[in-house]
Amino acid sequence: MTTQQNTPPTAQVTVEELAALMKKAAGVTVDPRDLADRLDAGFNTFGLDSLGLLGIVGQLENRYGQTLPPDAERCKTPGDFLELVNHIFLAGA
C-alpha cells in the first residue's frame, strides 16, 4: 500500500496558479496577464471576496499539506497574498 504525501512547493506560487485558483475556488475568471499587471489592485477589483480568498487558502493548504497563517486570508491584494504565501512555503513553516 502506498501513501501519498503532500510536499511543500519547491517553486513559488505563480500568478498563473493564483488565477487558476481564483477560477477553481471562487468561480472568478481572471486573465493571468491582467492579474500580473495589477498585483497591487484589491482582490475586489477582480471580483474576489473574502470567502473566495478563503477557498483559495484552503486549496493551497490541501495541495501542499501546510497550514497558512490567518494573515493569508486577510490579504487585500494579489501581490500581498503571493508574497506571504511564497514566503511561508519557501521557509517551510
Q: Residue 17 in contact with residue 30, Cβ under 8 Å?
A: no
More confident call, 2 vs 70: 70
Backbone angles phi, psi at 33, to 5 degrees: -70, -40
Tell if the pTM clears 0.75, that is, is over it.
yes
Instruction: Look up the CATH architecture of domain 15-91.
Output: Orthogonal Bundle (1.10)
- CA-nearest of 32, 35, 12 to 84 is 12
d(CA 39, CA 15): 9
Give pLDDT tens digits for 29-83.
999 999 999 999 999 999 999 999 999 999 999 988 889 999 899 999 999 999 9
